[in-house]
Amino acid sequence: MTKHPKIRFGAKPKTLKSYFTGLILSLLLTVAAFYIVMKHDMTPTATYLTLAGLAVAQLFAQVICFLRLNTTREGASNTLAFVFSLLVVAVLVVGSLWIMWNLNANMM
Amino acid sequence: MTSTTVDHHHHAHGHLDHDDIDVFGFWIYIMTDCLLFATLFATFVVLRGATFGGPALGQLMSLPYVFGETMFLLASSFTYGLAMLSFYKQHRNWALTWLLVTVVCGAAFVFMEVREFIELYIEGHSFQTNAALSAFFTLVGTHGTHVSIGLIWMVLMIFQLFRYGTTAAINRRLTYLGLFWHFLDIVWIFVFTVVYLMGAV
């Protein structure tokens, strides 16, 4: 009864509008990322942080507009798997870097 | 409407039919592939400074060139979406056309990447030169291999769509490939950010 008629394979309907929105957002975020690096206006730390922010923003733009992940009942299991993967990826990457930097510092 | 209600009776426990479960299974595979890339990214970030006295990775890369690669892959992700939209409207020939455009953009991306690798190799920056280059070739090469496999798969789907038309089975297979293809574009966001842009800061 609660089935959302338009959700197919756990994804929201793919429309021309969603694809164009995704394309334009991705273009803007990509151009911004290349621009700040080629312009060399910011301090390295500020550049790293901005680049990370732009990449994560583009991740969400494409996941929402292209893959059409959503929080409806039918799409929830896909989104839950995605969020869990983000968590594991964060533990893996941050944990590895933490260990290796500590190791590096202690070997000096 | 009626058929939907009947459908519900057949699946007493809920909302998922076989195709939904299959696609969910494929999504789980995509998520495990994320973990593969996460380990390679972690390795790359740890080793990217280990150049054994050679030039920093950032000095070997050309940003405008990478920007071109990025545009091809993003365009291919978008045109894949157009192929799916044509497929939903049962326009087989438009779907075939957009899939062909997607293959061309994807192939241009792989071509540019292979060319970059060959140029690096000719200049003496190979997989064996130092740990940073090993990590670079492993990470970027694994992504490129995924894209190449996606291209072979897409050519096969073009033949299937041409032969069988817009059927439910083809719809399911194109949905798998769409998840895979969009996923590869998403991984590329982090490749160009972490490897190329952060390398050039």
pLDDT at A6: 80
Q: Are the C-beta atoms of residues A52 and A93 closer than 8 Å to each other?
A: no
Backbone conformation region of residue B165, classed left if phi is above 0, alpha if psi is from -120 to 50, else beta: left
**Pair B30, B179: CB distance under 8 Å:** yes
Q: Do B100 and B158 touch, CB atoms closer than 8 A?
A: yes
Q: Of how many residues is chain B composed?
A: 201
Is there a contact between A93 and B31 if contact means CB atoms under 8 Å apart? no
Reference B144, options B176, B178, B107; nearest CA is B107
Count interface pairs A-B at CB distance under 8 A: 117
Global pTM reads 0.92
Residue A101 phi, psi (nearest 5): -70, -40
B179, B26 contact by CB (below 8 A): yes
pLDDT value for B15? 61
How far apart are alpha carbons B105 and B151 in whole angstroms? 10
B123, B59 Cβ separation under 8 angstroms: no
Alpha-carbon dihedral sign for residues B168, B173, B178, B183: positive
For chain A, give the percent of residues with pLDDT over 70.
95
Q: Cβ contacts (< 8 Å) between B23 and chain A: which residues?
A: 9-10
Between helix A44-65 and helix A16-39 the angle, nearest 10°, is 170
- What is the tens place of the pLDDT at every residue in A19-70? 999 999 999 999 999 999 999 989 999 999 999 999 999 999 999 999 999 9
Residues 66-85 of chain A with CB under 8 A from chain B are 66-67, 73-74, 77-78, 81-82, 84-85
Nearest-Cα residue of chain B relative to residue A104: B46
How many angstroms away from the CA of A9 is the closest CA of chain B? 5
Give the Cα separation of B41 and B2 in Å (integer): 50
Q: Which long-range contacts (CB under 8 A, 24 or more apart) does A88-93 make?
A: A88/B35, A88/B38, A89/B34, A89/B35, A89/B38, A92/B35, A92/B38, A92/B39, A92/B42, A93/B38, A93/B41, A93/B42, A93/B45
Q: Using CA atoms, how far apart are residues B79 and A12, in angstroms rounded to an integer?
A: 18
Q: Which amino acid makes up residue B125?
A: H
Q: What integer pLDDT is reported at residue A5 of this predicted model?
A: 60
Which candidate in A1, A2, A7, A9 is best for mutational testing of the B interface (most B CBs within 10 A)?
Answer: A9
Give the closest residue to A14 by CA, choosing from B62, B65, B80, B170: B80
Distance of CA B4 to the CA centre of its chain: 35
The interface predicted TM-score of the complex, written ipTM, equals 0.93
pLDDT (tens, 9 = 90+) of chain B, 201 residues, equals 444 444 444 444 556 678 889 999 999 999 999 999 999 999 999 999 999 999 999 999 999 999 999 999 999 999 999 999 999 999 999 999 999 999 999 999 999 999 999 999 999 999 999 999 999 999 999 999 999 999 999 999 999 999 999 999 999 999 999 999 999 999 999 999 999 999 999
pLDDT score, position B1: 42
- Contact A62/B39, CB-based, under 8 Å? no
pLDDT at residue B8 in the model: 44
Backbone angles phi, psi at A72, to 5 degrees: -70, 170
In degrees and rounded to multiples of 5, residue A11 shows phi and psi of -110, 145
